[in-house]
Amino acid sequence: MSTSQLQPVLDRVDADFDHSLERLFALLRIKSISADPAFAEDCKQAAAHLAADIATLGFNAEVRPTAGHPAIVATAKGNTGARPHVLFYGHYDVQPVDPLELWNRPPFEPVVTKHADGRDIIVARGAQDDKGQLSTFIEACRAWVHVTGSLPLDLTIVIEGEEEVGSKNFVPFLEQHKKDFAADFALVCDTGMWDPETPAITTSLRGLVYEEVKITAANRDLHSGIYGGGAQNPIRVLTKILGALHDDNGRITIPGFYDGVKDLPADILAQWKKLGLTAASFLGPIGLSIPAGEKNRELIEQITSRPTCDINGIFGGYTGEGSKTVIASHASAKVSFRIVAGQDPRTIRDAFRAFVTARLPADCKAEFLDHSNAPAIALDWNMKPLAASRAALTEEWGKEALLIGSGASIPIVADFKRTLGLDTVLIGFGLDDDNIHSPNEKYDLKSFHKGIRSWVRILGALAAAKR
Amino acid sequence: MSTSQLQPVLDRVDADFDHSLERLFALLRIKSISADPAFAEDCKQAAAHLAADIATLGFNAEVRPTAGHPAIVATAKGNTGARPHVLFYGHYDVQPVDPLELWNRPPFEPVVTKHADGRDIIVARGAQDDKGQLSTFIEACRAWVHVTGSLPLDLTIVIEGEEEVGSKNFVPFLEQHKKDFAADFALVCDTGMWDPETPAITTSLRGLVYEEVKITAANRDLHSGIYGGGAQNPIRVLTKILGALHDDNGRITIPGFYDGVKDLPADILAQWKKLGLTAASFLGPIGLSIPAGEKNRELIEQITSRPTCDINGIFGGYTGEGSKTVIASHASAKVSFRIVAGQDPRTIRDAFRAFVTARLPADCKAEFLDHSNAPAIALDWNMKPLAASRAALTEEWGKEALLIGSGASIPIVADFKRTLGLDTVLIGFGLDDDNIHSPNEKYDLKSFHKGIRSWVRILGALAAAKR
């Protein structure tokens, strides 16, 4: 696609940007909190609102029921079957807003305001995740349709309403309606930039194994004066086991844990090192200074390409004010592993359970609860849409788009692969300081504007790329 | 004191026992829960009730205000100043009754019923701790006064109302009114028998150092997908530190922890070994089988004469249902040490704090809160009242009274020594299965009956012993 064809579309984005913002604000005003049943009607309203808007772009756009909040499925009327076919995914639901008192303004009354450092930002719950991000894509489609009368490729849009609560009803919905989602690959706009100047495509996602373990010792709570010294204490057992999960070099000690984990290719590691991620820049803002991962690894490896173990919660015994001389009968912890390509979630889960069980006194008991078992995702760096998208992003931002790993998990990517056989290209314009899931969520006005322009270019580039 | 003088008093105990039980029931019906302000009037009522009853035995008995619940101070009108003078201590307050649903009957409606194994038991909150126990002493005084018209020695009775909440206001009250408590030694009835057939005097009490530690890492909660691997996790730090407190032989690893701790004299150890306390008998009923203390020590040493460390509570991160991929900013634990003669509470506290601090990553912070700092108590085994009491107990039960150590702390004993200069003889008739502080608290009818008879004999023996 030549620049001459793109330029009018990009010009339209700039000319119409105030209206794009108005449309985003209208969506942000809808309190579509999926976790709280009190907002079920708001979720329906958000779905209806989005479907009606997308229909104006020449789509058959339907609000479709699921066992939970509804989804929107929209198929472009101009699909020919002869062009590259893209499935775009986003979610209209947002996180709860608690603690409300930490918000500087009501979370569902969006505004454009100034960040402390002078950046223009959009502030509201969902401003980034994912209403702002998915709107960059829809506004790009709008500009294409406005200027050329149609989209440059075949397109299906699916927007769900339960991403923030684990997509439990959406995945069965996908499976049930596979034929509606036939495409060559998927696009998801729910990730971030490298920094405010540097666009990025996320090509790997860590998987997540999340276990809860409960250690039981005595059959009731005991008085530590009478039993202390003689009776086993489940918190002692639990801390001894969990305290042994990492060695002094930050390496995880579970036998076999690193089996199958590959080192980064030398050229990628060299590229990542050049990015200059330092402890000062990454950990400084959160009050830390010493990378906590494997000592022989770069910080960027620790947070993206290396597997990790975190204790996300622990509880046992007396936790109120003051003191109680109790030996609890049981103690629990929530332990999660971010896993990488080459690690099998079930193998890791079983190895963790064996690690715990092997360290258990013979008269204590361990019970396990499986909260997550998602594999890592690694995209083929040579896939065509990736190269085309990367070139388009580089052109828009004037800076080479990076291929980066993400430390987090986006389970829908694995579901698309498993259910529909589709690879996913993850492109987004979020920034580290967007406060997603937290009070005062924001989206840089520049992310929104250049995000729309980026998608205009990417759609053009994908249309031009051979299928 | 010859048997001929004692026998009529003992006979009176037997003849009047049904009334003794009625009087105990009247006391048990008063809901004198000290921890809950809603029961403040009940506490006042219990104090007034007891003072009025003790006054009928020839005492100047006053309800005296403290900064908390009132205390009763009663001085026998017949005190001559020429006889041994005993200070008796008990407490009328009881523990809360939660969880109420685990009680088989309402906790303040006392009954005599059958234990599963056929023993007659009194069931109610306070049946043992301490209303039943202190009543054994008062009923013994009543029998002496009824038969002989007076008590055989000089006596002051003090009963407080805040023992279950740490005696915070009672100790200053003691200090303020020292002169009212002049005596040769103190008697406390708040401890147990060795077993249902074997009486015991508690001659050592472990002290208690109780610390709360809070580890802080990042300045806010973090998403484990973004920061996992790079950011330090305070629960990981906390479990690593607490997991290192015991070595594989159950020994506490804090440097200097065992300094000054002496081995039991060989003859005492030999005597204790003969008592036949086994893991099956002591741990079996609570569902355990393996002594958790130092491997080269007898179980009876582990629970009475050796110092211990227990984690009484731990909490951090997400502890609700399901999962949350959070790295908490802080995590806390409550850690207590039962200490023995030769260990200084402040030295142990400082050694624990140094142990934690030495293991802290440089960018994490530890804060400490001091909940208790009580030294161990070791009675002089050769003190006269001990020998006299022991002989009296042996006579009543037909089995040699044991001198035992208690794993628990009774802080008032240290307060009597520090404030009044008094040694304390600890005699009680509780049993391990009395469920004190728990639902369905009970006191064996035999403990109550023979407890009264035991005090009749002990008062006689103490009166006869040289001052």
Cα-only R_g, chain B: 24
CB pairs < 8 Å spanning A and B: 281
pLDDT of A64-80, one tens digit each? 999 999 999 999 999 99
B105 and B194 fall within a common domain: yes
Confidence of residue A283 (pLDDT cuts 50, 70, 90): very high
List chain A residues with CB under 8 Å of B371: 322-323
| A310 phi, psi to nearest 5 deg | -130, 140
B251 and B311 fall within a common domain: yes
DSSP state of A324: -
Least CB-CB distance to A288: which of B210, B232, B299? B232
How are strands ordered across the β-sheet holding B111-114? B111-114, B120-123, B442-444
Q: Which of A329, A359, A374 is the last residue of a domain?
A: A374
Residue contact A310–B233, C-beta within 8 A: yes
Q: Which of A346, A374, A402 is the last residue of a domain?
A: A374
State whether residue A308 sits within 8 Å of chain B by CB: yes
What's the confidence (pLDDT) of residue A265?
A: 84
State whether residue A372 sits within 8 Å of chain B by CB: yes
Q: Which of A374, A401, A429 is the last residue of a domain?
A: A374
Q: Chain A: nearest CA to B250, how far in angstroms?
A: 9
> Cα B164 vs. chain centroid, distance in angstroms?
9
Mean pLDDT of chain A: 94
B20 and B67 fall within a common domain: yes
What's the confidence (pLDDT) of residue A58?
A: 97
Least CB-CB distance to A225: which of B223, B363, B407? B407
B431 and B363 fall within a common domain: no
B60 and B182 fall within a common domain: yes
Structure tokens at B79: 């005190």
Tell me how far apart the alpha carbons of residues B391 and B394 are, in angstroms, rounded to a whole number: 5
Tell me how far apart the alpha carbons of residues A193 and A394 are, in angstroms, rounded to a whole number: 12
List chain A residues with CB under 8 Å of B411: none
Instruction: Give me the sign of the Cα torsion angle A197, A199, A205, A210.
Output: positive
State whether residue A293 sits within 8 Å of chain B by CB: yes
Give the three-state DSSP class for A428.
coil
Residue contact A286–B231, C-beta within 8 A: yes
What's the confidence (pLDDT) of residue B5?
A: 80
Residue contact B363–A290, C-beta within 8 A: yes
Tell me how far apart the alpha carbons of residues B427 and B443 are, in angstroms, rounded to a whole number: 15
Strands B85-91 and A365-374: unpaired
State whether residue B293 sits within 8 Å of chain A by CB: yes
Amino acid at B97: V
Tell me how far apart the alpha carbons of residues A355 and A358 are, in angstroms, rounded to a whole number: 5
Q: Over 90: is that where the pLDDT of A229 sits?
A: yes
Residue contact A233–B327, C-beta within 8 A: no
List chain A residues with CB under 8 Å of B328: 312-313
Q: Chain A: nearest CA to B282, how far in angstroms?
A: 9
Strands B120-123 and A365-374: unpaired
A249 and A314 fall within a common domain: yes
Name the residue with tokens 């040289």. B466
List chain B residues with CB under 8 Å of A331: 314
Number of domains into which chain B is organized: 2
What's the confidence (pLDDT) of residue B465?
A: 82
Determine, yes or no, domain membership for A81. yes
B332 and B382 fall within a common domain: no
* Window 208-227 of B, Cβ < 8 Å to A: 208, 210, 212, 217-220, 222-227
Does an H or E element contain B73, and which? Answer: strand B71-76
ipTM, two decimals:
0.81
Structure tokens at A61: 């756009």
Cα-only R_g, chain A: 24
Determine, yes or no, domain membership for A277. no
Q: Chain B: nearest CA to A423, how far in angstroms?
A: 21
Determine, yes or no, domain membership for B14. yes
Question: Which residue of B lies nearest to A164 if distances are taken between CA atoms?
Answer: B324
Determine, yes or no, domain membership for A161. yes
Tell me how far apart the alpha carbons of residues A140 and A459 are, in angstroms, rounded to a whole number: 8
Tell me how far apart the alpha carbons of residues B239 and A74 are, in angstroms, rounded to a whole number: 51
Determine, yes or no, domain membership for B282. no
Determine, yes or no, domain membership for A295. no
Sequence length of chain B is 467
B116 and B146 fall within a common domain: yes
A213, β-bridge pairs: A333, A368
pLDDT of A121-143, one tens digit each? 999 999 999 999 999 999 999 99
Residue A422: partners with Cβ closer than 8 Å, 6 or more residues away: A87, A181, A183, A184, A185, A186, A416
Structure tokens at B180: 């009212």
Residue contact B328–A318, C-beta within 8 A: no
Q: Chain A: nearest CA to B341, how far in angstroms?
A: 15
Residue A86: partners with Cβ closer than 8 Å, 6 or more residues away: A153, A154, A155, A156, A183, A184, A185, A186, A187, A459, A462
Least CB-CB distance to B288: which of A218, A243, A331? A218
Determine, yes or no, domain membership for B71. yes
State whether residue A322 sits within 8 Å of chain B by CB: yes
Tell me how far apart the alpha carbons of residues A169 and B63 are, in angstroms, rounded to a whole number: 67
Question: Taking CA A185 as the corner, what is the angle to CA A181 and CA A186, rounded to the nearest 5 degrees?
Answer: 75
The CATH number of the domain holding residue A229 is 3.30.70.360
Q: Over 70: is that where the pLDDT of A4 sits?
A: no
Structure tokens at B258: 């065992």
Give the three-state DSSP class for A410.
coil
Least CB-CB distance to B287: which of A218, A283, A319? A218
List chain B residues with CB under 8 Å of A206: 225
What's the confidence (pLDDT) of residue B408?
A: 80
Strands B185-188 and A71-76: unpaired
From residue B261, alpha-carbon distances to A165, B202, B255 in Å are 56, 19, 13
Strands A365-374 and A207-216: antiparallel
Q: H helices of A102-211, where?
A: 131-148, 170-176
Residue contact A233–B336, C-beta within 8 A: no
State whether residue A99 sits within 8 Å of chain B by CB: no
Residue contact B287–A317, C-beta within 8 A: no
DSSP state of A161: S
B241 and B341 fall within a common domain: yes
Determine, yes or no, domain membership for B25. yes
Question: Which residue of A lies nearest to B308 if distances are taken between CA atoms?
Answer: A229
Tell me how far apart the alpha carbons of residues A31 and A46 are, in angstroms, rounded to a whole number: 8
| B359 phi, psi to nearest 5 deg | -100, 10
What's the confidence (pLDDT) of residue A3?
A: 54
The CATH number of the domain holding residue A166 is 3.40.630.10
A235 and A137 fall within a common domain: no
From residue A222, alpha-carbon distances to A109, A324, B76, B189, B292 in Å are 53, 11, 40, 22, 14
Per residue of chain B (467 residues), give pLDDT as tens.
Answer: 555 689 999 999 999 999 999 999 999 999 999 989 999 999 999 999 999 999 999 999 999 999 999 999 999 999 999 999 999 999 999 999 988 888 999 999 999 999 989 999 999 999 999 999 999 999 999 999 999 999 999 999 999 999 988 898 999 999 999 999 999 999 999 999 999 999 999 988 899 999 999 999 999 888 888 899 999 999 999 999 999 999 999 999 999 999 999 998 888 888 888 888 999 999 999 999 999 999 999 999 999 899 999 999 999 999 888 888 889 999 999 999 999 999 999 999 999 999 999 999 999 999 999 988 889 988 876 788 999 999 999 999 999 999 888 888 788 898 999 899 999 999 999 998 898 888 899 999 999 999 999 999 999 999 998 65
Mutation for testing the A interface, residue in B319, B406, B432, B437 having most A CBs under 10 Å: B319
Whether B124 and B108 have beta carbons less than 8 Å apart is answered as yes
Question: Which residue of B lies nearest to A290 if distances are taken between CA atoms?
Answer: B363
Least CB-CB distance to A319: which of B242, B310, B313? B313
Tell me how far apart the alpha carbons of residues A435 and A429 are, in angstroms, rounded to a whole number: 14
DSSP state of B128: S
Residue contact B313–A290, C-beta within 8 A: no
Sequence length of chain A is 467
A330 and A430 fall within a common domain: no
Does an H or E element contain A61, and which? Answer: strand A59-64
Structural domain containing residue A345: 211-261+307-374
List chain A residues with CB under 8 Å of B244: 243
What's the confidence (pLDDT) of residue A411?
A: 82
pLDDT of B352-407, one tens digit each? 999 999 999 999 999 999 988 889 988 876 788 999 999 999 999 999 999 888 88
Residue contact B315–A314, C-beta within 8 A: yes
Tell me how far apart the alpha carbons of residues A288 and B232 are, in angstroms, rounded to a whole number: 8
Q: Chain B: nearest CA to A329, how far in angstroms?
A: 9
B87 and B160 fall within a common domain: yes
What's the confidence (pLDDT) of residue B422?
A: 93
Tell the burial category of A284 from Cβ atoms under 10 Å away from its Cβ (0-12, 13-18, 19+): exposed
Name the residue with tokens 């775009």. A88
Question: Which residue of A lies nearest to B208 if distances are taken between CA atoms?
Answer: A225
What's the confidence (pLDDT) of residue A466?
A: 64
pLDDT of A24-63, one tens digit each? 999 999 999 998 999 999 999 999 999 999 999 999 999 9
A113, β-bridge pairs: A121
State whether residue A349 sits within 8 Å of chain B by CB: no
